[in-house]
């Protein structure tokens, strides 16, 4: 019986965080919806191009900082230009009034981080998978870790503003999770790093489901940042130790 309760707790957490939507009304006019879609598409095309440029800059080149900052600006400006964005609410453990779901999102991000770090046990043994990831992490090794961490935060927020904010709202309610997850993975594919594309698909799906539940970008942003900062600081040590 001792093992039943943790399983039940985990099932209840997943259901509250990723399955059952919190009631809200974010309806907008047809003209506002069409405008959001146009802005979202234009932003996507520009952002994909800037991302492809940023991820192909050699480690240690200060241009990388400029490129990643420019990418964040593209995502954020496009998101705010598309129309209203909402922070959203999450379910509370006691079942009362919805909260901002910050603690819930921190826990979800930590779970994602644990899964990916466990997966690093396999990645470290396969050069085809490990070497491209190591090359990406070299930006932190050969540059300023503090600056890279700051850019990770800025870009993580900007990505959520766009992908789970503007784009999610622009797709419509029926297929928003699937479409935004696929688009997020395809944009990331411009990096040419297979594991980064896989990570984008998994993280994109999780935060997409969270966006559907909470109706806003705060929860997905907290989850995204918890995962991405954890990977930045912990993954290099894991790969170095196991390689």
- Cα(240)–Cα(174) distance, rounded to whole angstroms? 43
State how far the Cα of 133 lies from the Cα of 163, in Å rounded to an integer: 23
Within-domain flag for 5: no
Examine residue 20 and state whether it is found in any structural domain, yes or no. no
Structurally, the chain folds into a number of domains equal to 1
Q: Are the beta carbons of 21 and 215 closer than 8 angstroms?
A: yes
How does pLDDT run across 179-192, given as a tens digit for each residue?
999 999 999 888 77
Residue 10 placed within a domain: no
- Look at residue 168 and tell me if it is in a domain: yes
User: Does residue 96 lie within any of the structural domains?
Assistant: no
Q: Is the pLDDT of residue 206 over 50?
A: yes
Residue with tokens 């993280």: 203
The whole-number average pLDDT for the span 83-111 is 88
Evaluate whether residue 91 is within a structural domain: no
- The pair of structure tokens assigned to 167 is 């784009």
The domain of 224 spans 26-84+101-242
DSSP 193: -
Residue 95 pLDDT? 67
- State the DSSP H helix or E strand holding residue 167, giving kind and residue range, or none if neither: none
């Amino acid at each position: 019986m001792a093992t039943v309760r943790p399983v039940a707790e985990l099932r209840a957490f997943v259901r509250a965080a990723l399955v059952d939507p919190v009631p809200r009304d974010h309806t907008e006019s047809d003209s506002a919806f069409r405008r959001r879609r146009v802005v979202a598409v234009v932003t996507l095309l520009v952002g994909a191009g800037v991302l492809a440029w940023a991820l192909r800059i050699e480690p240690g080149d200060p241009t990388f900082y400029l490129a990643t900052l420019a990418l964040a600006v593209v995502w954020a400006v496009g998101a705010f230009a598309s129309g209203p964005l909402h922070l959203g609410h999450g379910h509370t453990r006691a079942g009362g009034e919805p909260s901002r779901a910050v603690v819930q999102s921190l826990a979800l991000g930590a779970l994602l981080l644990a899964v990916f770090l466990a997966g690093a046990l396999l990645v470290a043994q396969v050069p085809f998978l490990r070497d491209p990831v190591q090359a990406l992490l070299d930006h932190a090794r050969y540059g300023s870790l503090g600056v890279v961490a700051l850019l990770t935060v800025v870009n993580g927020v900007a990505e959520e503003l766009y992908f789970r904010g503007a784009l999610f709202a622009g797709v419509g309610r029926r297929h928003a999770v699937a479409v935004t997850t696929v688009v997020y993975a395809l944009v990331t594919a411009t990096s040419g790093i297979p594991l980064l594309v896989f990570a984008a698909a998994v993280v994109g799906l999780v935060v997409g489901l969270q966006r559907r539940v909470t109706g806003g970008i705060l929860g997905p942003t907290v989850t995204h940042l918890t995962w991405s900062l954890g990977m930045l600081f912990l993954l290099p040590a894991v790969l170095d130790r196991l390689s």
